[in-house]
Structure 1
Amino acid sequence: MTSTDQAPTGAQALPSAVDLDATDPLGHFRELFLEPEGTDVVAYLDGNSLGRPLAATRQRLAEFINTEWGNRLIRSWDERWMDLPMTLGDRLGAAVLGAGAGQVIVADSTSVMLYKLLRAALAARPERNQIIIDRGNFPTDRFIVEGIAAERGATITWIDDASRGHISVADVAAALGPETAVVLLSHVEFRTGYMADAPAITAAVHDAGALMLWDLSHSAGSVPVALDAWGADLAVGCCYKYLNGGPGAPAFGYVRADLQNQIQQPIWGWMGADEPFAMNDAYAPATNVRRFITGTPSILAMQPLLHMLELIEQAGMDAIRAKSILLTERAVALADIHLSPLGVSLASPRDSSERGSHIMLDHPQFRDVTAALWERGVIPDFRPPSGLRVGLAPLSTSFAELDAGIQAIREALLELG
């Protein structure tokens, strides 16, 4: 290192990344993720956008093609595939979502599943016409709300979280009213990583007579979720972030058991019918959670999730959360020491109980910094207008990798002046 690269005073007070990795009870899981020979990746800090593939996934896909698809052919629908969206949903519910059996389905994209459940929730409160969402939510969530409102003539009440970057119980309570049909919020905010108080918000929504729909895309697989204990009505989430299902992996949807026969999903299709292969003239929905499927689910795209759920079941969400906290606390400390003197500010909560498994840093040069880092094999991501997200996947991210990433950010800032 040059004299300008010397770590500022205070870095020595942190535990050694080498020691932390050596004593990490989840460290052995990193060996199960694919790292091709010759890779230029120095630090992968974007597992909150796209998780690394498991090495076993390559073999699993080959086995699937050779056996279930190539050998059993269409017979596999009767032997396994018809039930897979539900059996996989049950495993996901038990290991990750805190949901009892028969309430989680794996199918569709997050956008399609979000449309179906939000549209169904609005129709379930025909005497009400208001949807509540925050302006800082992920674009898909906002766009789908706007589309449904235009389609159904509903009104939208926007919660403005720009000043704090998070939504509180008080914010939601102030927006609720006798016209509220459904509230849609993200459990972990996609920019700042702020984690909402899901049980308290859900209770406030129920007190107002409305339904609560949670987007768990940045929660599932990184922080404990307890949908049943929260009393949640509905939830959606993607499977390609901390669940490592791969690009375009199918999403999941949760519908509380007692609601399944009370709400009607709006996109009727043959696979959600009570007897799909009867080819009936009229649509009659399945009597269980399968009614929320529409078309033929992507069985091939579900295969990577099977191995990842095995890892999560072995590790346990409590242990995964414990490492997530250690990683994000170290990321905050390193940013304070190495990056704050260069004008970088923390846009995420400092209290680990209030954040998920990523943090966001803010600096006016971070768009250019991110581009420079990618060329060097250090991969965070950029979120406008000036945020750099450091995503930390507990089962695949090492402490040394985190340290290397923060140091690379510092070096890039120094070079840009």
Structure 2
Amino acid sequence: MSLIDRAQCEALDAKDPLAFARDRFEVPDGMVYLDGNSLGALPKQTPARLDAVIREQWGQDLITGWNKHGWVALPRRLGATLAKLIGAEADEVVVCDSTSLNVFKLLSAALSLQPTRKVILSDTGNFPTDLYMAQGLAQLLGQGHRLELVAPDDVITRLDADVAVVMLTEIDYRTGRKHDMAAINARAKAAGVLTLWDLAHSAGALPVDLNGTGADFAIGCGYKYLNGGPGAPAFLFVARRWLEATQQPLFGWFGHAAPFAFETAYQPKAGIDRFLVGTPPVLSMAALECGLATFDGIDMALLREKSLALGDLMIKLVTQECGGLGLTLASPTEGKARGSQVSYAHAEGYAVMQALISHRVIGDFRAPDLMRFGFTPLYVRYQDIWDAVATLKSVLVTAEWQKPAFRQRAAVT
């Protein structure tokens, strides 16, 4: 097999049909940013948009902005835009709250539809906040519900008559392993099990087809591949067939049928709006709207093709350049089995990642030993992968990671 060099990577960039999208983002000079799976890069239009919302809309129009500038419609407007990226209809998605709160709301709604079933099924690779919410809800309900965890490969065979809801993150946050959404949805439907998908590492990273695969419920965040900024609002999806049959447990005034009637008794809105709770965070939603705009004119099939090519390239280059240096591939080697990231295990993974960051190659670390490298196809280049692997090789060969500063754990890893 012939060796890959940087010139070949530059040649790939030259013919990349998505290369134009990089200009939509502020990517600092000299930085290789491979952490869009934790926090997306800043869209260039976001600062001006926020400045306008702050200085003109809020500053000059004050409270009249709710009507004059359509602030009150932001949850549904953003939901309709986002729906196009996840295979949903505009009236099935709303932007609101956090992923954790949305898990709580949708899981509660789903369980209420399955009163005789008590098992919430998930896998051992699911993101902890989803599991915590399930545990807390089961305890709060006090009706004998329990969370059951199985290995990812065992989920589909565990779907049975005692399972109420299967709650999964489509892309494993540690390894990038991808669940087969279509197969799981089909098996769940046959067993009478409802599905709740976490799209935190899917939305904006690869084509998602919630309706085409028969999903019941889904949630996701806005600050990773959707580029909405730190702590951006999350979103939720409810299939039309469940919109009028479900009720969520958090009765907030924006979910009320007539919030400005100020009635003392709660009456839910029709449709997806019943899943709203409190006042929309206008500044955060304005930033997220800019993040969603970065997908204008983007062919998601091309985006997925580039994502897989970037991952394949990294795996090949690490094998070529870093063999025998203590790295173990933790992600699937086959592209269709993973999302838009590649993870490597290393006994000193945290310190190695800190050394990389000191050289402006930005990834992140997940305990106990995984280094994660995320690929956002809208702004990551093939030459970035070459530069990242070259830096990784240098850090490992020189044992630079042994410096004490790189071994001190920060609050966020």
TM-score by length of 2: 0.93
1:19 & 1:289 partners in 2: Cα distance?
47
Question: In structure 1, the residue corresponding to 2:48 is in which secondary structure?
Answer: helix
1:415 aligns with 2:398: yes
Task: Check conservation: 2:43, 2:294, Cα contact below 8 A.
Answer: no
Who is 2:79 aligned against? Answer: 89
Who is 1:63 aligned against? Answer: 52
Task: Check conservation: 2:256, 2:266, Cα contact below 8 A.
Answer: yes
Which of 104, 124, 131 is the matching residue for 1:135? 124
Deviations 1:76-132 (A, max 9, x none): 2224122210111011001x1110120000000111111111111112211111100
Which of 278, 298, 316 is the matching residue for 2:299? 316
Task: Check conservation: 2:6, 2:383, Cα contact below 8 A.
Answer: no
Task: Check conservation: 1:110, 1:236, Cα contact below 8 A.
Answer: yes
Which of 150, 155, 175 is the matching residue for 2:139? 150
1:77 aligns with 2:60: no
Instruction: Choose 70-79 or 247-256, whichever is displaced more.
Output: 70-79
1:93 & 1:122 partners in 2: Cα distance?
24
Q: What amino acid does structure 1 have at the position aligned with 2:337? A: E
Task: Check conservation: 2:173, 2:201, Cα contact below 8 A.
Answer: yes
2:238 & 2:86 partners in 1: Cα distance?
12
1:392 aligns with 2:375: yes
Task: Check conservation: 2:123, 2:155, Cα contact below 8 A.
Answer: no
Q: What amino acid does structure 2 have at the position aligned with 1:102? A: D
Question: In structure 1, the residue corresponding to 2:90 is in which secondary structure?
Answer: coil
Shift of the alpha carbon at 1:157?
A: 4.8
Deviations 1:315-357 (A, max 9, x none): 1211211111111111111111112331312111111111110
Deviations 1:200-246 (A, max 9, x none): 10111111112100000000001100011111110000010000000
Who is 1:110 aligned against? Answer: 99
Who is 1:187 aligned against? Answer: 170
Question: In structure 2, the residue corresponding to 1:337 is in which secondary structure?
Answer: helix
Question: In structure 2, the residue corresponding to 1:236 is in which secondary structure?
Answer: strand
Q: 1:11 to 1:76 in 2, by over 3 A?
A: same
1:278-317 aligned at under 5 Å gives the runs: 278-317=261-300
Deviations 1:47-71 (A, max 9, x none): 1100100111011101111232222
Shift of the alpha carbon at 1:14?
A: 8.3
Q: What amino acid does structure 2 have at the position aligned with 1:43? A: V
TM-score by length of 1: 0.92
1:304 & 1:182 partners in 2: Cα distance?
33
Task: Check conservation: 2:233, 2:288, Cα contact below 8 A.
Answer: no
Shift of the alpha carbon at 1:308?
A: 2.6
State the Cα RMSD in Å.
1.7
Who is 1:332 aligned against? Answer: 315
Task: Check conservation: 1:116, 1:267, Cα contact below 8 A.
Answer: yes
Q: What amino acid does structure 2 have at the position aligned with 1:30? A: R
The count of residues paired between Structure 1 and Structure 2 equals: 398
Question: In structure 1, the residue corresponding to 2:322 is in which secondary structure?
Answer: helix
Q: What amino acid does structure 1 have at the position aligned with 2:363? A: P
Identity %: 40
